[in-house]
Homo-oligomer: A and B are copies of this chain.
Amino acid sequence: MTSIDQPASDTAPSKAAFRDAMARIGAAVHLVTTDGPAGRAGLTATAFAPVTDEPPHLLVCLNRESRTAALIRENGVFAINTLAAGQQELADVFAGRTHLHGAARFSHGLWREGALGVPVLADALASFVLRTRSIETLGTHQVVIGALTGITTGEAHAGLVYTRRAYHAL
């Protein structure tokens, strides 16, 4: 380990400092969707990670007050639809920037019923259908881990990446 004399410049992790640091970090953009007895909903999320491929599991972090998180808790199934380059309009719709809520958001985009009855975006970069395995609440959010039951990859080869508060094709 090379040491340098420069004093540590760690700043207190205020909410603003945390958000500014996070805004530098590129992340793919996903529409997290659910449907079932409790109803249909979806939102835009970038807090996503693969957990393990043996057996395949993915996670997303969702605001626990969101309608989508509430319905995933009740339906027990969800999809993660990774957006392709050019799909920023859908990202905006599902982020609530057009003031559409609940099932009304699905009037945008070309959707089909995927495995387990969840809404799968037909022209996503990739879609993952999952059964909820665990939900851990932490502050304002929940870490939702799902066991993968289906994968669809689309024809698109470039994705949508969000960083510095803007969308980029990559």
Residues of A that sit less than 8 Å from B by CB: 1-4, 6, 8-13, 15, 17-22, 24-28, 40, 47-57, 59-61, 82, 103, 106-107, 109-115, 119-120, 122, 125-126, 128-129, 133-134, 136, 138-141, 143, 145, 148-153, 157, 159, 161, 163-164, 168, 170
Contact = CB atoms under 8 A, between A and B. Distances in A.
Given A27-B27, A115-B8, A161-B26, A13 B52 contact: no
Contacts of A52: 61, 138-141
Contacts of A122: 4, 6
Given A10-B150, A26-B26, A170-B170, A56 B15 contact: yes
A88 to B, nearest CB: 14
A25 B160 CA distance: 9
Contacts of A50: 18, 22, 47, 61
A54 B6 CA distance: 30
Given A10-B115, A13-B56, A27 B24 contact: no
B1 A119 contact: yes
Number of copies: 2
13 contacts: A10-B152, A11-B150, A18-B50, A25-B125, A47-B50, A49-B49, A50-B61, A52-B140, A138-B145, A143-B143, A161-B163, A168-B170, A170-B170
A53 B126 contact: no
A56 to B, nearest CB: 4
A65 to B, nearest CB: 12
Given A59-B143, A106-B1, A136-B136, A170 B161 contact: yes
